[in-house]
Amino acid sequence: MLKEPESESDIDKLIYHSRRQLGDKGHVLVWVYKQLCPKCKKSLMGKPREKGKVKIRAKEYICPSCSYTVEKKEYEESLTADIKYTCPHCGFKGEASIPYKRKNIEGIPTLRAKCSKCEGNIDITKKMKEKKGQADTEDDD
């Protein structure tokens, strides 16, 4: 059973959180918890802060206790994404834990899990990204 974030304090312990609709009958809830500093084991790793605000596009994660620094890609790929889903293919409700490592699928950075019943792909893409060749085809009148 996965530990789903419930309160505001739990949300602060997350590096990523998303709730998405998948097709007509599927949906997914994804969250990734921060890890303790591998050096001092006292604090959760986080992005650096400037003047009290988190530096959004930071290239590293820093421990607030001992200032230990880890490259962003290296740190994020060591994390685990927890997923609660309703499969868009078969309607099965399930849970999964996968490495938090995005793969480039059809030109879009994507987290991919497999349905534990039908083995169908459950893709979680970055927001507002469209697969190549699937842009809006509305006619401008």
Whether residue 135 is contained in a domain is answered as: no
The two three-digit tokens of residue 105, written as one number: 């699928």
125 and 83 assigned to the same domain:
yes
Q: Cβ distance 119 to 140 under 8 Å?
A: no
Indicate if 26 and 93 belong to the same structural domain.
Answer: yes
Residue 141 domain flag: no
Q: Determine if the pTM surpasses 0.85.
A: no
Residue pLDDT, tens place only, 41-85: 899 999 988 887 888 888 999 998 998 999 999 999 899 999 999
| pLDDT given for residue 60 in this prediction | 94
CA distances from 63 to 37, 67, 70, 96 (A): 6, 5, 9, 28
Q: Which domain holds residue 61?
A: 35-76
Decide if 138 is inside a domain.
Answer: no
